[in-house]
Amino acid sequence: MQISSTTISLTVDDVPAASKFLATHFGYTERMAADGFASLGRDDAAVDVVFLRRGIEVLPEPLREQTAAGVIVAFVVDNLVAEQERLRAEGVEITLPLREEPWGERLFMVADPNGISYELVEWASRS
């Protein structure tokens, strides 16, 4: 199997707010949009993201009323401290302050207007 790209699809209540958050704070570009739908991507290796409005008919009926609860979208970055400072300066609330896990993962988290958690990660250098 060869995978040519990866997309995550998230069901939310407010598609335009989710799309604007990713575009404004994470450099995504809205590539396609319609009522209740937005597809965003980047030109680098980041994952593409699709937002679907809760209740939209294109979802299988058992999934229509579910939202993206418990999902964490993680982005690996090169300068975690600088990204945290940038997001704070842009008015984004840090929902989990910067911390380092015992296994060497450094991270912090933010949330979009729909409550989707975004984790920014940088691996601590090993001595």
Strand partners, 29: 41
For the chain, the structural domain boundaries read: 7-123
Per-residue model confidence as pLDDT tens digits over 76-87? 999 999 999 999
| 0.75 surpassed by pTM | yes
7-123 is classed CATH 1.10.645.10:
no
How would residue 126 be classed by pLDDT, with cut points 50, 70 and 90? low
Residue with tokens 């965003």: 40
Q: To 5 degrees, how large is the angle CA 116–CA 62–CA 1?
A: 75
